[in-house]
Amino acid sequence: MQKILKTYQSTLAADNDHPFLHGPFTPAMDEYVADTDSMQVIGEIPKDLHGIYVRNTHNQVHESIGMYHPFDGDGMLHAMHFEGGKATYRNRFVLTTGFLAEQAAGRSLWPGMLSPQLQARRGWGAMGAMKDNAGTDVKIHAGKLLAGMSQGSEPWRLDPITLETLGPDEDWARYVPDGVASHYKVDSETGEMMFFNYPEKPPYMNYGVIDRHNRLVHYVPIELPGARWPHDMGITRNYTILHDLPFHFDNELLAKGQRKMMFYPDRPARWHPAAPWRLGLGALVRGHALPHPAPGQLL
Ligand SMILES: [Fe+2]
């Protein structure tokens, strides 16, 4: 069985020749469900394989305002679900606030990251100009999918089987006004999610932990000497390792609203181990209740 569940209407112009809207990047407007019988299976699907493989993509629906960047496209998840020797494929858009608004309007309402000066209404992201496209990240945490655009959208929860959008995270996102950077990590042993963000104002980085019950149990400033542009973080069993690398915005220009990336070869790379909280987490796993932090403790 292969079925189209919904078809969206694209407004991309027929002569739009942007390379990131063609070939393997051609946006898909159909949402499908397909089972094993409609796929070519090479070999045999192991009967004890039970879980999903899921990926997030940027899948632009409307002609963009200003120049398109491949990270601007609307978020669409594709998932292959394995169970009992069978596979089921699904794809669905992440129905963010901005996506639904543009669906209602039938056109783009927000410019992409290369044209923030064309902003006509309040948006999301560090510059407050973009749409919350939720197309870069996806992970499983607390029994649900969590999809987002690095610091550019709220964290969105989706059903891992149906890919139905359940809504922006209700439990902790409001306590994290600077958002969640890409490359947050989920500890497969404890179910905790470790994340960071890097606002362009002091303290320039924050670090947080969401427990397996989806409670924000730790959120602390990481004071850096200026605005940075970190990409990733690491986790080990006992430590989270945060990065302060010498490739970032020229901070003097940034104070004037100009963003120019610079490499500072005379500055050492620094690795910040955020350890004490993680060492304490074993207590939670063993069943000791931790108080849910009050908003005043976090902001
Ligand atoms: Fe990345």
Per-residue tokens: 48: 């004890």
Q: Which of 294, 234, 218 is nearest to 269 (CA)?
A: 234
Q: Are residue 48 and residue 140 in the same domain, yes or no? A: yes
Q: Distances in Å between the alpha carbon of 149 and those of 94, 134, 156?
A: 11, 4, 9
pLDDT beneath 70: ranges in the chain: 274-299
Interatomic CA distance for residues 161 and 157, integer angstroms: 12
Q: Is 16 part of a structural domain of the chain?
A: yes
Q: Is 175 part of a structural domain of the chain?
A: no
Determine the distance separating the centroid of ligand 1 and the alpha carbon of 154, expressed in angstroms.
17
Determine the distance separating the centroid of ligand 1 and the alpha carbon of 261, expressed in angstroms.
17
Determine the distance separating the centroid of ligand 1 and the alpha carbon of 163, expressed in angstroms.
22
Give kind and range of the element (H or E) at residue 2: strand 2-7
Positive/negative CA dihedral, 172, 176, 179, 184: negative
Domain end among 138, 170, 202: 170
Q: Cα 2–3–9 angle (5° rounding)?
A: 135
Q: Is 228 part of a structural domain of the chain?
A: yes
Q: Is 53 part of a structural domain of the chain?
A: yes
Determine the distance separating the centroid of ligand 1 and the alpha carbon of 152, expressed in angstroms.
13
Q: Is 299 part of a structural domain of the chain?
A: no
Q: Are residue 159 and residue 195 in the same domain, yes or no? A: no
Q: Are residue 75 and residue 157 in the same domain, yes or no? A: yes
Determine the distance separating the centroid of ligand 1 and the alpha carbon of 275, expressed in angstroms.
24
- pTM comes to 0.87
Determine the distance separating the centroid of ligand 1 and the alpha carbon of 224, expressed in angstroms.
21
Determine the distance separating the centroid of ligand 1 and the alpha carbon of 195, expressed in angstroms.
13
Determine the distance separating the centroid of ligand 1 and the alpha carbon of 58, expressed in angstroms.
14
- With 0-12 / 13-18 / 19 or more C-beta atoms within 10 angstroms meaning exposed / middle / buried, residue 254 is middle
Interatomic CA distance for residues 107 and 118, integer angstroms: 15
Q: Which of 242, 128, 227, 223 is nearest to 184 (CA)?
A: 242
Determine the distance separating the centroid of ligand 1 and the alpha carbon of 149, expressed in angstroms.
10
- What pLDDT was estimated at residue 125? 79
Secondary structure class of 54 (helix, strand, coil) = strand
Determine the distance separating the centroid of ligand 1 and the alpha carbon of 150, expressed in angstroms.
9
Determine the distance separating the centroid of ligand 1 and the alpha carbon of 232, expressed in angstroms.
7
Using alpha carbons only, how large is the chain's radius of gyration in Å? 21
- Please say whether the beta carbons of 129 and 116 come within 8 A: yes
The number of domains in the chain is 2
Domain end among 112, 147, 170: 170
Q: Are residue 112 and residue 87 in the same domain, yes or no? A: yes
Determine the distance separating the centroid of ligand 1 and the alpha carbon of 134, expressed in angstroms.
14
Q: Are residue 229 and residue 145 in the same domain, yes or no? A: no
Percent composition of the chain: helix, strand, coil (DSSP 3-state, to 5): 15, 30, 55
Q: Are residue 47 and residue 131 in the same domain, yes or no? A: yes
Determine the distance separating the centroid of ligand 1 and the alpha carbon of 142, expressed in angstroms.
22
Q: Are residue 139 and residue 184 in the same domain, yes or no? A: no
Q: Is 214 part of a structural domain of the chain?
A: yes
Q: Are residue 83 and residue 213 in the same domain, yes or no? A: no
- What pLDDT was estimated at residue 274? 67
Q: Is 298 part of a structural domain of the chain?
A: no
Domain end among 120, 139, 170: 170
Q: Are residue 165 and residue 263 in the same domain, yes or no? A: no
- What pLDDT was estimated at residue 282? 31
Determine the distance separating the centroid of ligand 1 and the alpha carbon of 299, expressed in angstroms.
27
Determine the distance separating the centroid of ligand 1 and the alpha carbon of 47, expressed in angstroms.
33
Determine the distance separating the centroid of ligand 1 and the alpha carbon of 297, expressed in angstroms.
30
Determine the distance separating the centroid of ligand 1 and the alpha carbon of 263, expressed in angstroms.
19
User: Where do the H-state alpha helices sit in the chain?
Assistant: 97-105, 251-254, 276-285, 295-298
Digit-coded pLDDT (tens) for 42-74: 999 999 999 999 999 999 999 999 999 999 999
Determine the distance separating the centroid of ligand 1 and the alpha carbon of 137, expressed in angstroms.
9
Q: Is 153 part of a structural domain of the chain?
A: yes
Q: Are residue 33 and residue 159 in the same domain, yes or no? A: yes
Determine the distance separating the centroid of ligand 1 and the alpha carbon of 231, expressed in angstroms.
6
CB atoms within 10 A of CB 116: 18
Q: Are residue 189 and residue 162 in the same domain, yes or no? A: no
Interatomic CA distance for residues 107 and 73, integer angstroms: 13
Q: Are residue 287 and residue 166 in the same domain, yes or no? A: no
- Please say whether the beta carbons of 244 and 270 come within 8 A: yes
Determine the distance separating the centroid of ligand 1 and the alpha carbon of 230, expressed in angstroms.
10
Secondary structure class of 216 (helix, strand, coil) = strand
Q: Which of 32, 23, 101, 34 is nearest to 61 (CA)?
A: 101
Digit-coded pLDDT (tens) for 256-272: 988 899 999 998 888 87
- Domain residues for the domain of 115 are 1-170
Determine the distance separating the centroid of ligand 1 and the alpha carbon of 181, expressed in angstroms.
9
